[in-house]
Protein backbone atom coordinates (compact mmCIF):
# COMPACT_ATOMS: atom_id res chain seq x y z
CA UNK A 1 0.00 0.00 0.00
CA UNK A 2 2.77 2.44 0.90
CA UNK A 3 4.58 1.57 -2.33
CA UNK A 4 1.44 2.35 -4.35
CA UNK A 5 1.06 5.70 -2.65
CA UNK A 6 4.72 6.49 -3.31
CA UNK A 7 4.35 5.57 -6.99
CA UNK A 8 1.21 7.68 -7.38
CA UNK A 9 2.91 10.62 -5.66
CA UNK A 10 5.98 10.27 -7.89
CA UNK A 11 3.84 10.22 -11.04
CA UNK A 12 1.84 13.24 -9.83
CA UNK A 13 4.96 15.27 -9.09
CA UNK A 14 6.52 14.29 -12.42
CA UNK A 15 3.41 15.48 -14.26
CA UNK A 16 3.29 18.68 -12.22
CA UNK A 17 6.98 19.36 -12.90
CA UNK A 18 6.48 18.80 -16.61
CA UNK A 19 3.47 21.14 -16.61
CA UNK A 20 5.47 23.86 -14.83
CA UNK A 21 8.28 23.52 -17.34
CA UNK A 22 5.78 23.83 -20.19
CA UNK A 23 3.83 26.76 -18.67
CA UNK A 24 5.53 29.45 -20.81
CA UNK A 25 4.80 27.47 -23.98
CA UNK A 26 1.22 26.81 -22.89
CA UNK A 27 0.78 30.52 -22.10
CA UNK A 28 2.19 31.47 -25.51
CA UNK A 29 -0.12 29.04 -27.30
CA UNK A 30 -3.33 29.63 -25.36
CA UNK A 31 -3.20 33.04 -23.65
CA UNK A 32 -0.69 35.39 -25.22
CA UNK A 33 -2.84 36.31 -28.22
CA UNK A 34 -5.16 38.27 -25.93
CA UNK A 35 -3.23 38.83 -22.71
CA UNK A 36 0.07 39.70 -24.40
CA UNK A 37 3.62 38.56 -23.69
CA UNK A 38 3.71 40.52 -20.43
CA UNK A 39 0.12 39.87 -19.36
CA UNK A 40 -0.98 43.47 -19.83
CA UNK A 41 -3.84 42.65 -22.24
CA UNK A 42 -2.42 45.19 -24.66
CA UNK A 43 -2.66 43.17 -27.87
CA UNK A 44 -5.18 44.15 -30.56
CA UNK A 45 -7.29 41.10 -29.65
CA UNK A 46 -6.93 41.81 -25.94
CA UNK A 47 -8.01 45.42 -26.37
CA UNK A 48 -10.98 44.41 -28.51
CA UNK A 49 -12.13 41.81 -25.99
CA UNK A 50 -11.36 43.79 -22.85
CA UNK A 51 -8.72 41.38 -21.54
CA UNK A 52 -7.84 42.17 -17.93
CA UNK A 53 -4.21 43.07 -17.24
CA UNK A 54 -2.62 40.62 -14.83
CA UNK A 55 -1.19 43.56 -12.86
CA UNK A 56 -4.66 44.99 -12.24
CA UNK A 57 -5.65 45.28 -8.58
CA UNK A 58 -8.58 42.93 -9.24
CA UNK A 59 -6.38 40.11 -10.51
CA UNK A 60 -3.65 40.64 -7.94
CA UNK A 61 -6.29 40.35 -5.20
CA UNK A 62 -7.86 37.24 -6.76
CA UNK A 63 -7.04 33.94 -5.12
CA UNK A 64 -5.34 31.16 -7.03
CA UNK A 65 -8.61 29.23 -6.78
CA UNK A 66 -10.51 32.11 -8.44
CA UNK A 67 -7.99 32.35 -11.27
CA UNK A 68 -8.11 28.57 -11.70
CA UNK A 69 -11.92 28.68 -11.88
CA UNK A 70 -11.78 31.44 -14.51
CA UNK A 71 -9.32 29.47 -16.64
CA UNK A 72 -11.44 26.34 -16.36
CA UNK A 73 -14.86 27.92 -16.95
CA UNK A 74 -13.84 30.95 -18.99
CA UNK A 75 -14.95 34.47 -18.17
CA UNK A 76 -16.51 37.10 -20.38
CA UNK A 77 -15.11 36.53 -23.85
CA UNK A 78 -12.32 34.25 -22.59
CA UNK A 79 -13.00 30.64 -23.57
CA UNK A 80 -13.13 27.79 -21.08
CA UNK A 81 -10.06 25.58 -20.94
CA UNK A 82 -11.52 22.79 -18.79
CA UNK A 83 -10.98 19.60 -20.77
CA UNK A 84 -8.49 21.37 -23.06
CA UNK A 85 -5.80 21.76 -20.40
CA UNK A 86 -5.09 19.35 -17.57
CA UNK A 87 -5.32 20.39 -13.92
CA UNK A 88 -1.50 20.44 -13.61
CA UNK A 89 -1.28 22.63 -16.74
CA UNK A 90 -3.84 25.06 -15.32
CA UNK A 91 -2.06 25.14 -11.95
CA UNK A 92 1.21 25.88 -13.75
CA UNK A 93 -0.47 28.72 -15.67
CA UNK A 94 -1.63 30.26 -12.40
CA UNK A 95 1.97 30.19 -11.13
CA UNK A 96 3.14 31.72 -14.43
CA UNK A 97 0.49 34.46 -14.21
CA UNK A 98 1.68 35.27 -10.70
CA UNK A 99 5.23 35.63 -12.06
CA UNK A 100 3.99 38.02 -14.74
CA UNK A 101 2.38 40.14 -12.03
CA UNK A 102 5.79 41.00 -10.54
Cβ atoms 97, 54 nearer than 8 A: yes
Print pLDDT tens along the chain (102 aa). Answer: 565 564 544 444 444 455 667 899 999 999 999 999 999 999 999 999 999 999 999 999 999 999 999 999 999 999 999 999 999 999 999 999 999 998
Write down the pLDDT at residue 42: 95
DSSP calls for 18-44:
HHHHHHHHHHHHHTHHHH-TTSS--SH
Cβ atoms 93, 27 nearer than 8 A: yes
List, in sequence order, the alpha helices (H) in 50-86. Answer: 57-61, 64-73
CA distance 84 to 17: 19
**Secondary structure (3-state) at 62:** coil
The CA-based angle 10-12-13, given to 5 degrees, is 65
CATH homologous superfamily for 2-100? Answer: Cytochrome c-like domain (1.10.760.10)
Amino acid sequence: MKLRIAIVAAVFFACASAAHAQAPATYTAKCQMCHGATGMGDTPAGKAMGAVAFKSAKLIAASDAEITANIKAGKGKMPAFNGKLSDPEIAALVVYIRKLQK
